[in-house]
Amino acid sequence: METGPAAWLDALDRDAVRRRQAGLRRELRPRAAGDGVVDLAGNDYLGLSRHPAVLAAAGEALTRYGLGATGSRLVRGSTEVHAALEARLAGLLGTGGALVYSSGYLANVGAVRALAGPGTLLVSDAYNHASIVDGCRGSRAEVVVAPHADVAAIERALAGRGGRRAVVVTESVFSVDGDLAPLADLHAACRRRGALLLVDDAHAVGVLGPSGAGAAAAAGLTGEPDVVVTMTLSKAFGAAGGVVAGPAALVAGLVDTGRTFIYDTALPPAVAAGALAALDLVRDGEDLRAELSDRAALVGKRLVGHQVSEPAAGVVSVAVATPAQALAWADDCRRRGVAVGCFRPPSTPDGRSRLRLTINVGVPRAVFENALDIIAECGP
């Protein structure tokens, strides 16, 4: 076999050609500030990323603290903004404590690794986000990937665990199809079998539940001692950063030993301050949530003849026959000023392609409805 840099570069080129032929190339398209594109691709569900109160709070903290956190909070110190954000998040989610990470990805990896290690059984939903999958892989626990949302299969896996600790991990609102995990039933199964339940509430906090406290809260799991919640500040909060929320002792353990917290530069204080301001808007956002739910339900009515998912929150998926068709549809929409998500393998858990529309109530209603017409016109 040929070795050396030339052979390596050839192999990279051949792989790229294979991906292009399979319709699996990904393109980084330029995004201009104020490009006027209707955003039905991002996760700014409540339109808070540009809310004046959020920008003002972030701007003020930017001036006080500078651009970056300049180090981890253990090394560089923990700002009052981080502490206030964590206290308020624990209050919203009804947990003993909360710890903020620089991303939801790192919060998930940190949470899974904190709950599971060698000698633990981890039961993970087949449709879980890559960050959960990576947490599972890095945990060195035995991982059983259970069929999607199949409580009976999950309970069967738990029954076979012997004397080991067991953890069930699931998203609440699934990021690709937008369906909701059967959280109450999963928790009941965990209780029966003495397992912990880890819920990634990334797409539900701000969108579902009392005061936007998320799907775990909506399922009545607030404060349950065997439930740990993760979330991201990058979606309904319009900011960035991740959160692990659970008993205070778990948070203390993460600060002492959690590698994705300890060895990572902290969330920039300005982002934390923006997220803190967003939290008030999330809490008081019942009207925004009602509008979001109304818009999500409208998608299926407008995209007649397409296979549109039943949305549980702000994620709506539209099945497309092939990756190439999905790409062409999303490209046509973009040319006409509407950004939609285009999900193809390997980003889809079942190997099928979809368009993903995410509702953003920051988009004026008439513009949103017009965007749905454009999507319908561009469809295969």
**Binding region for ligand PLP (CB under 6 A):** 103-105, 108, 129, 131, 171, 175, 200, 202-203, 232, 234, 242
Which of 143/378 has CB closer to ligand PLP? Answer: 143
* Beta carbon of residue 304, minimum distance to ligand PLP (angstroms, whole number): 28
Least CB distance from residue 231 to ligand PLP, whole Å?
Answer: 8
Please answer whether residues 165 and 119 qualify as being in contact, where contact means their C-beta atoms are separated by less than 8 angstroms.
yes
Distance of alpha carbon 86 from alpha carbon 100, whole angstroms: 7
Nearer to ligand PLP among residue 356 and residue 378 (C-beta): 356
Which of residues 92 and 378 has its CB atom nearest to ligand PLP in the complex?
A: 92
CB of 28 to ligand PLP, least distance (A): 17
- Residues whose CB is less than 8 angstroms from the CB of residue 75 and which lie 6 or more positions away in sequence, other chains included: none
Nearest-approach distance from CB 247 to ligand PLP, in angstroms: 21
**Smallest distance from the beta carbon of 266 to ligand PLP, in angstroms?**
14
Q: 183 vs 378, which CB is nearer to ligand PLP?
A: 183
- CB of 313 or CB of 318, closer to ligand PLP: 313
In whole angstroms, how close is the CB of 315 to ligand PLP at the nearest point?
9
How is 79-107 classified by DSSP, letter by letter? -HHHHHHHHHHHHHHT-SEEEEES-HHHH
Omega within 30 of 0 (cis) for the link into 147:
no
Q: Shortest gap between Cβ of 232 and ligand PLP (angstroms)?
A: 4
Torsion angle in degrees (nearest 10) through CA of 2, 5, 7, 11 = 140
Which is nearer to ligand PLP, 155 or 201 (by Cβ)?
Answer: 201
d(CA 227, CA 183): 10
Instruction: Provide CB contacts within 8 A for 142, sequence distance 6+.
Output: 120, 121, 122, 164
Run of H or E including 152: helix 151-159
Cα–Cα distance measured from residue 48 to residue 125, given in angstroms and rounded to the nearest whole number: 30
**Please, what is the minimum distance in Å from the beta carbon of residue 180 to ligand PLP?**
12
User: Please, what is the minimum distance in Å from the beta carbon of residue 242 to ligand PLP?
Assistant: 5
Q: What's phi and psi for 217, nearest 5 deg?
A: -65, -40
Cβ proximity to ligand PLP, 357 vs 378, nearer residue: 357
DSSP letter for 205, please. Answer: B
Distinct helix (H) and strand (E) counts, the chain: 15, 11
Tokens of 187: 């928790």
Give Rg (Cα) of the chain: 21
Please give the Cα distance from 207 to 367 (Å, whole number): 21
Cβ(139)–Cβ(119) under 8 Å? no
Instruction: Tell me whether residue 82 or residue 203 sits nearer to ligand PLP (CB atom).
Output: 203
Peptide bond into 346 cis (omega under 30): yes
- Nearer to ligand PLP by C-beta: 198 or 221? 198
Which CB sits closer to ligand PLP, 120 or 131?
131
Pairing of strands 353-358, 315-320: antiparallel
Single out the residue of 115, 108, 136, 114 nearest to residue 230, CA to CA.
Answer: 108
Whole-number minimum distance, CB 360 to ligand PLP, in Å?
15
